[in-house]
């Protein structure tokens, strides 16, 4: 009820003979209540403020008797306020007169308000450009997120003031938190679909313990070196980062997003060893023949293929074993001067396309043992899920952000604005080059891979393994 009815003053003060009296004397409570009431009764309420719109402010100085307008529309105004508006009016009139043509009627319809708070990071002018472009994209139902805002800001800075940017010697580097603040100032809020969080099994601790025991037992018994302990995993990468959420004005009941059903992706199969080696990549495009593959010079040890839906399946996984896993294992055995039949071990999840008899038989024929990651636990126990997969998607998103920003820069430079071309034929070669750059990046950062094995508990489990 207190939500709808204002509490009386006494209800806000402790009762002298209530539970508090067991800790504080009742006489003390009564006296403090009296003092508080006196203070509250003397408190001054905030006065009423005169609210004058921008149009009225402009009309007052335009009058020949503006000095007598202190009682404008029944509102008692201060002389200093009216004087300030007159000065602003004259300044605005002077600027408009300079830009007006011959014989053009010059009028000041409204006066600009006083800018409060910190100035925008890009400055007033560039910030206005940024907001106008975002509004235009929103009208086209383009999904708006922090990545897009940063890309647009980068394009604006490249054309108008690149010296501000960190990459050109400045100190400005628009980031995700800044982009969210821009959208908040524009009155946008995040709108999108919910997703169901993954729930770990109730017996996860026991499952993890048995999983690590299996790995330790195989490694210890077969004396498998770190480079021959391999984890592989499939991950989907979007050709264009379409979103299932966008930014829309607060309170909007219907939210439409362009290309919400855009599921154009490729599947990348990553592989990595406990020693930090990043194995060659298998890329799976959507298509039925080799004509769907982009005309790009991929590394010779990569496997580039296609399926009708770009998903990994039994056929593509057998190709992966033949083209990537077996050559890598043979190379490591030779490099470490081990027997050609020295055991290796692979770790993979329960995806049905790889838990098939033909694949398991091929592994056994090449003396490659395997441990399967327990179902519903890949986000906690699979090394690549804990190391490469998320950073890889972030890397691709950053590349898209730079590419998109460069296009915005060119459009601003050419004084045109049109929807960015993200057709399949355009994006496949671009994304392929990003994949090659990403591969070289992670290949030079073995600690990222090793940290995934540590996070899964594998490194700790193998600490006591005899050498």
CA distances from 302 to 2, 126, 232 (A): 69, 44, 14
Q: Is the overall model pTM greater than 0.85, yes or no? A: no
Tokens of 372: 């399967």
For 35, phi then psi, to 5°, come to -65, -40
- 210: part of which helix (H) or strand (E)? helix 204-222
User: Tens-digit pLDDT profile for the chain (467 aa)?
Assistant: 444 444 445 566 787 787 777 778 888 878 787 877 776 666 555 555 556 666 666 666 555 445 545 555 556 667 777 777 778 888 888 877 877 767 677 777 777 666 667 888 888 888 888 888 888 777 766 667 787 888 888 888 888 888 888 888 888 888 888 888 888 888 877 655 444 556 788 889 999 999 999 999 999 999 999 999 999 999 999 887 655 545 555 555 554 444 444 568 899 999 999 999 999 999 999 999 999 999 999 999 999 999 999 999 999 999 999 999 999 999 999 999 999 999 999 999 999 889 999 999 999 999 999 999 998 899 999 999 999 999 998 898 888 878 887 887 788 777 777 778 888 888 999 999 999 999 999 999 999 999 999 999 999 999 844 34
- Do 319 and 333 form a contact (C-beta atoms < 8 A)? no
- Do 344 and 334 form a contact (C-beta atoms < 8 A)? no
Give the DSSP letter of residue 379. Answer: H
Tokens of 397: 């998103």
Burial code of 349-360, b = ≥16 C-beta within 10 A, e = fewer? bebeebeeeebe
């Amino acid at each position: 009820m207190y939500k709808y009815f204002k509490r009386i003053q006494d209800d806000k003060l402790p009762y002298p003979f209530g539970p508090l009296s067991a800790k504080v004397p009742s006489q003390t409570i009564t006296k403090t209540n009296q003092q508080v009431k006196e203070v509250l009764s003397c408190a001054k309420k905030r006065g009423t403020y005169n609210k004058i719109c921008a149009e009225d402010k402009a009309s007052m100085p335009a009058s020949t008797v503006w000095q007598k307008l202190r009682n404008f529309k029944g509102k008692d105004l201060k002389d200093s306020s009216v004087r300030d508006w007159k000065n602003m009016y004259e300044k605005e009139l002077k600027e408009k007169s300079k830009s007006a043509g011959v014989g053009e009627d010059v009028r000041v319809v409204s006066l600009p308000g006083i800018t409060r708070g910190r100035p925008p990071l890009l400055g007033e002018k560039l910030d206005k450009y940024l907001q106008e472009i975002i509004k235009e994209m929103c009208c086209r139902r383009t999904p708006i997120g922090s990545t897009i805002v940063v890309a647009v800001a980068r394009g604006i800075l490249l054309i108008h003031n690149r010296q501000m940017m960190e990459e050109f010697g400045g100190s400005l580097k628009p980031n995700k938190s800044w982009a969210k603040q821009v959208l908040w100032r524009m009155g946008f809020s995040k709108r999108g679909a919910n997703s169901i969080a993954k729930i770990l099994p109730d017996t996860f601790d026991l499952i993890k313990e048995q999983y690590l025991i299996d790995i330790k037992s195989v490694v210890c018994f077969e004396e498998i070196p770190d480079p021959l302990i391999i984890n592989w995993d499939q991950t989907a990468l979007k050709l264009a980062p379409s979103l299932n959420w966008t930014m829309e004005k607060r309170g909007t009941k219907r939210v439409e997003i362009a290309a919400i059903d855009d599921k154009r992706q490729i599947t990348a199969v990553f592989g990595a060893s406990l020693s930090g080696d990043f194995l060659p990549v298998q890329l799976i495009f959507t298509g039925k023949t080799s004509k769907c593959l982009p005309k790009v010079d991929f590394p010779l040890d990569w496997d580039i293929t296609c399926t009708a839906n770009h998903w990994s399946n039994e056929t593509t996984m057998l190709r992966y074993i033949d083209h990537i896993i077996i050559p890598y294992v043979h190379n490591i055995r030779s490099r470490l001067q081990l027997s050609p039949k020295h055991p290796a071990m692979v770790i993979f999840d329960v995806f049905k396309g790889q838990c098939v008899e033909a694949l398991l038989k091929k592994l056994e024929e090449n003396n490659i043992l395997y441990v399967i990651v327990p179902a519903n636990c890949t986000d906690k126990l699979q090394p690549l899920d804990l190391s490469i997969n998320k950073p890889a998607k972030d890397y691709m998103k950053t590349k898209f952000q730079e590419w998109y920003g460069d296009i915005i820069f060119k459009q601003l430079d050419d004084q045109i604005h049109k929807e960015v071309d993200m057709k399949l034929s355009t994006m496949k070669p671009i994304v392929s080059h990003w994949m090659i750059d990403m591969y070289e990046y992670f290949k030079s950062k073995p600690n990222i891979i090793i940290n995934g094995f540590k996070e899964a508990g594998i490194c700790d489990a193998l600490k006591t393994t005899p050498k």
